[in-house]
Amino acid sequence: MTVVPPAAGEPRRPDGPRNPGDAWVVAPSGEKYWGRFGAAGLLAVDAERGILLQHRVAWSHFGGTWGLPGGALHEGERAIVGAVREAQEEAGVPDGSVRPRFTSVLDLGIWSYTTVIADVVAPFEPVISDPESVALEWVPLDEVDRRPLHPGFERAWPALRELLSVRQVVVVDAANVVGSVPDGWWKDRAGAARRLAERLRGLTLPGGEVELGGDDWFPGVSLVVEGAARGIDAPETEVEDFADLRLGGDVSVVEAEAAGDDAIVREVARQADAGRYVVAVTSDGELQARVASAGAAQVRSSGWLLGLLDGTSR
C-alpha cells in the first residue's frame, strides 16, 4: 500500500488545511482509493422521495457519475460519524435529520468504505455547499439504476436496495432479562426496568447475529414490562449536532395489562404482521416457542442481549 496526497484537480476541501486523511491509498496492483483512513458515504432514505444522490463534478474521481455524498474519514473517526459529517459538508444535511438504520462495509484490507443507510426523520432540501457537486437530487428507488452511477455504488446498489425493505425491531422480555442478573432488582423492579431501557438506546446488532447481510444494524426496541415495572417512561435522546446521532428506532415501553408472556406474544405478532424483522429476547423456553409461532424471525436469550450490551458474547 502507498499513500499519495491529492494532485491538482483531485478531491480536497475548498479552504483550510488539508486533513491527513485526504490522500489516495494505492494498492500494489495500481488501483487508487480515496481516504488514507478509509472513506464513508451516507445513503439517506426519504420514505416519500427516494434516496439522496450527488451528481459529481467532472474533475472529480469518476466525474459525471451519480453517487452518495461522502468522502475520506479523519484519523480515529467512526465511519458513521464521518459519513454524516461529509454529507453535511457536501449536501447541507441538517443536524438530527437522519437516523442510521444499518451499515454496509466494503473491506479490501488496505482500504475500506462504509455505506451508512439512514432514514430521514426530518425532511430537508439538500444544498450544494462545496465544489464537488453539480447537483443533488432525491431520486425514487426505481429510477436510481437509470442514471450513470459511480462504479462502486453501482456494484453495491442491488444488495443495498434489497435491504432497504428490512425494518428491524427487538422485542424484549424485560422481566426475564432483568431477573437474569442478581443485582438486587427485586428491591426496585421499576428502577431496574428503567435502567435496562436506558441501556437499550442505540442497541447495535452485528449483521452476522441477525443473518440479514449488512454489518451493524440499529433496530427499534419494544420493551415489554409487567407488574411493578409498569409506569416507567421510555428514554429520550436530544440531538444537538451530528456527533450526537440517534441510532436505530426508539425504545418503546409496552405495558402488560395482565400476563407478561401474553403481552410479549401479542407484540411480536403485531410487529411481524407489520412486516418487520422481529428478534424476540427471552430465556423462557415455553415463551420462546410461542414467540417463534407468533412470527419472530429469531429468538434469542437474555444472556445474548446482555452480552451485546456489555460488549461480550454469552
What distance in Å separates the CA atoms of residue 205 and residue 10, rounded to the nearest whole number? 37
Mean pLDDT of the chain: 88
Domains of the chain: 2-163 (3.90.79.10), 168-310 (3.40.50)
| pLDDT(254) > 90 | yes
For the stretch 95-114, pLDDT in tens is: 999 999 999 999 999 999 99
Residues 6+ apart with CB under 8 A from 228: 189, 190
| Contact criterion met (CB below 8 Å) for 89 and 82 | no
| Contact criterion met (CB below 8 Å) for 214 and 208 | no
pTM of the model: 0.86
What distance in Å separates the CA atoms of residue 203 and residue 93, rounded to the nearest whole number? 24
50-56 and 39-46 strand pairing: antiparallel
For the stretch 109-128, pLDDT in tens is: 999 999 999 999 999 999 99
| pLDDT(305) > 80 | yes
Name the one residue in this structure whose C-alpha cell is 424485560.
174
24-26 and 32-34 strand pairing: antiparallel
- Please give the C-alpha separations between residue 77 and each of 14, 22, 30, 113, in angstroms, as whole numbers: 21, 13, 26, 13
For the stretch 175-208, pLDDT in tens is: 999 999 988 888 999 999 999 999 998 899 887 7
> What one-letter code names the amino acid at 250?
D
| pLDDT(9) > 50 | no
What distance in Å separates the CA atoms of residue 302 and residue 307, rounded to the nearest whole number? 9
For the stretch 114-163, pLDDT in tens is: 999 999 999 999 999 878 789 999 999 999 999 999 999 999 999 999 99
- Please give the C-alpha separations between residue 103 and each of 79, 134, 235, 243, 278, in angstroms, as whole numbers: 9, 26, 24, 17, 19
Q: What confidence score (pLDDT) does residue 183 get? A: 87
Percent of the chain with pLDDT over 70: 90
For the stretch 28-70, pLDDT in tens is: 888 888 889 999 999 999 999 999 999 988 777 777 899 999 9
